[in-house]
Amino acid sequence: MTGLLDRDLTPLSDDDVVAMVRDLEQHKRMAVALEHRLYVEVSDRSIPGRTGAGTLKRFLIETLRLSHTEAGARVAATTQLGSFHTMHGEPIEPRMPATATAQTEGEISVEHARVIHKVLNRIPGCTDNPEYEAAEQILATAARDLEPEKVAQVGEKILAYLDPDGQKTDHTDRQRRRELTLGIQHSDGMSAIKGMITPQLRALLDPCIAKLGRPGMNNPDDPESPRGDSEHIDPDLLTAAAKRDTRTTAQRTHDALLALLAPGVSPDNLGSHRGLPVSAIITMSIDQLEDAAGVATTATGGTVPIEDAIEMAATAKPYLAIIDRHGMPLHFAQGKRLASPAQRLALIAAVRGCTRPGCSAPASTTAAHHIRDHAKGGPTTIENLTLACDHCHALIHDGPGGWKTIALGKDSKYPGRTGWIAPPHIDPNQQPRVNHHHHPGELLAETLARIHHRDEQDRQQHRNWLQRIQSRPDTA
């Protein structure tokens, strides 16, 4: 390491620098796994007691001059990811085995592991809980491809599916917790706002914010910022305004609400957004509708309990899309370049959001994208269409750093889904990947099936062993 610190990096090529950045990060992550092993040894050998520190945390504080917070975090990580031993010296599998393996291989960071732990803490965790094990495997796999913030989003989706019928939070409890409070007005005229809104209000509010808070729209700092129906505004004007827009997401949300409450404005006269009416678009399966159980999804990336979604469909005017038991949309085709509203609705029902791996953008912020470029002969059929947000769509090009999209074939694990191929500096192997963020139930079902199959095989092996023992002649 000392030699590398003294080495002149100027002669290195760009590819060499990128490779060194990747290698250094991988070794730093692997060093953390080694750190856990060392801390286990310190604990197993009772070194804290013999040195007078008493606890592993105090030992780390005194020996390494760590803060209480950092020492506590390292001990907690070792508890979850370290492999301790029984009294007879046999190794015990870590509480988060898939996460520990990924960290040992240098694939995930300390922050990844902390995020996974926070999610799992909200699930009853024990060694015989298949849902806990499945969630840990899914999150550890996601962490190999996503940054920690997006792993947390995957965790929220999983938690929603693990408690679809409100076993932990039912309709009555959600209604009890609803609140919206405006704080006192300060001397500068500003007021704080806090609260908790129901899934119904979120589903109705999200499309309005997506429309009125789109980058470039309703910007009070830009006199040329478009107002009103963005679908009827010159797209070049909107694009130019979006490039000038330096507002944060929170500021755009504020300005969207301000625009929504302006005189003469209401959700019913907001026109369209990305070719669809500004309204809640709710998707549920036929099984969910028949059983009145589970969670429906919205085009803005949210979830709504089925009972609430059914109530909304009866009392409000959302767009309700019901998909079949195979999760497939209806077939639509047209000769035009632009996707029809019917195709957009079908894509929302099946795809739910941006399809680039790791992107959490909901369907309401996406546009229909030709998997095979329309300019290269790609047809405007449902089979050749997918959803991509503006940011991810701009990443698709043939130049350096460009992404590519393909439709996965029948022999793929996910036939018909959109595979994204990252540029070489992200994925040197150029393997197409799919986005699981909008389909947590799919991953959860697959992982649980594998776990149940494994457990059944273990039980069958035990039964076979018992039968062999019982069939042996009595030699007593």
- pLDDT the model gives residue 336: 45
Q: 321 forms bridges with which residues in the sheet?
A: 283
- pLDDT the model gives residue 271: 55
Under 8 Å between Cβ of 292 and 285: no
CB atoms under 10 Å from CB of 463, counted, come to 10
Q: Looking at the structure, do residues 244 and 346 belong to the same domain, yes or no? A: no
Rounded CA separation 217/298 (Å):
23
CA nearest to 415, candidates 406, 427, 425, 403: 406
- pLDDT the model gives residue 71: 94
Confidence of residue 329 (pLDDT cuts 50, 70, 90): very low
Under 8 Å between Cβ of 53 and 59: yes
* Residue 466 three-state SS: helix
Q: Looking at the structure, do residues 229 and 301 belong to the same domain, yes or no? A: yes
At residue 300, φ and ψ (nearest 5 deg) are: -95, 10
Q: Is the pLDDT of residue 285 over 50?
A: yes
Query: What average pLDDT does this structure show over 295-306?
Result: 69
Q: Is residue 48 part of a domain?
A: yes
- pLDDT the model gives residue 114: 94
Confidence of residue 337 (pLDDT cuts 50, 70, 90): very low
End-to-end alpha carbon distance in the chain: 65
Q: Is the pLDDT of residue 325 over 50?
A: no
Q: Is the pLDDT of residue 247 over 90?
A: yes
Q: Looking at the structure, do residues 156 and 218 belong to the same domain, yes or no? A: no
Amino acid at 405: T
- pLDDT the model gives residue 89: 81
Residue finishing a domain among 301, 327, 353 = 327
Q: Is residue 177 part of a domain?
A: no
Amino acid at 88: H
Q: Is the pLDDT of residue 164 over 70?
A: no
* Residue 418 three-state SS: strand
Q: Is the pLDDT of residue 334 over 60?
A: no
Query: Greatest CA separation found in the chain?
Result: 97
Q: Looking at the structure, do residues 266 and 364 belong to the same domain, yes or no? A: no
Query: What average pLDDT does this structure show over 189-193?
Result: 89
Q: Looking at the structure, do residues 222 and 82 belong to the same domain, yes or no? A: no
Can you give the C-alpha Rg of the chain in angstroms?
A: 27
- pLDDT the model gives residue 331: 34
Confidence of residue 373 (pLDDT cuts 50, 70, 90): confident
Task: Tokens for 406, please give them.
Answer: 């393909």
Top mean-pLDDT range of 35-44, 80-89, 118-127, 323-332: 35-44
Confidence of residue 187 (pLDDT cuts 50, 70, 90): confident
Q: 277 forms bridges with which residues in the sheet?
A: 272
* Residue 288 three-state SS: helix
- pLDDT the model gives residue 276: 53
Under 8 Å between Cβ of 332 and 340: yes
Task: Tokens for 404, please give them.
Answer: 């590519």
Q: Is the pLDDT of residue 73 over 50?
A: yes
Q: Looking at the structure, do residues 19 and 150 belong to the same domain, yes or no? A: yes
Residue finishing a domain among 296, 327, 358 = 327
Q: Is residue 156 part of a domain?
A: yes
Rounded CA separation 436/103 (Å):
21
Q: Is the pLDDT of residue 34 over 90?
A: yes
Query: What average pLDDT does this structure show over 5-12?
Result: 83
Q: What is the domain extent for residue 259? A: 198-327
Rounded CA separation 198/97 (Å):
36
Q: Is residue 457 part of a domain?
A: no
Under 8 Å between Cβ of 331 and 340: no
Spatial CB neighbours of 65, under 8 Å, sequence gap ≥ 6: none
- The single-letter DSSP state of residue 274 is T
Confidence of residue 381 (pLDDT cuts 50, 70, 90): confident
Work out the percent of the chain whose per-residue pLDDT is above 70.
78
Rounded CA separation 228/314 (Å):
29
- pLDDT the model gives residue 166: 47
In whole numbers, what is the pLDDT of the chain averaged over residues?
81
Under 8 Å between Cβ of 396 and 426: no
Q: Looking at the structure, do residues 275 and 145 belong to the same domain, yes or no? A: no
Confidence of residue 151 (pLDDT cuts 50, 70, 90): very high
- pLDDT the model gives residue 311: 67
Q: Looking at the structure, do residues 22 and 105 belong to the same domain, yes or no? A: yes
Q: Looking at the structure, do residues 292 and 384 belong to the same domain, yes or no? A: no
Q: Is residue 374 part of a domain?
A: yes
Top mean-pLDDT range of 16-25, 122-131, 177-186: 16-25
Q: Looking at the structure, do residues 97 and 127 belong to the same domain, yes or no? A: yes
CA nearest to 148, candidates 123, 119, 120, 113: 113
Q: Quick: pLDDT tens for 445-458.
A: 778 788 877 777 87
Query: What average pLDDT does this structure show over 146-172?
Result: 76
- pLDDT the model gives residue 127: 47
In angstroms, the Cα distances linking 258 to 38, 75, 243, 303 are 56, 48, 22, 25
Q: Is residue 47 part of a domain?
A: yes
Predicted TM-score (pTM) of this structure = 0.58
Under 8 Å between Cβ of 78 and 117: no
Work out the percent of the chain whose per-residue pLDDT is above 90.
32
Residue finishing a domain among 293, 312, 327 = 327
**CA quadruple 446, 449, 455, 461: dihedral, nearest 10:** -110
Given the structure tokens 């649980």, which residue do they identify? Answer: 448
Confidence of residue 475 (pLDDT cuts 50, 70, 90): very low
- pLDDT the model gives residue 468: 76
Q: Looking at the structure, do residues 306 and 336 belong to the same domain, yes or no? A: no
**pLDDT: is 230 or 180 the higher one?**
180
Q: Looking at the structure, do residues 355 and 405 belong to the same domain, yes or no? A: yes
User: How many Cα atoms are found within 13 Å in the side-chain-facing hemisphere of 150?
Assistant: 17
Number of domains observed in the structure of the chain: 3
Q: Is residue 192 part of a domain?
A: no
Rounded CA separation 310/423 (Å):
43
In angstroms, the Cα distances linking 225 to 240, 269, 394 are 9, 20, 22
Q: Is residue 169 part of a domain?
A: no
Rounded CA separation 70/414 (Å):
42
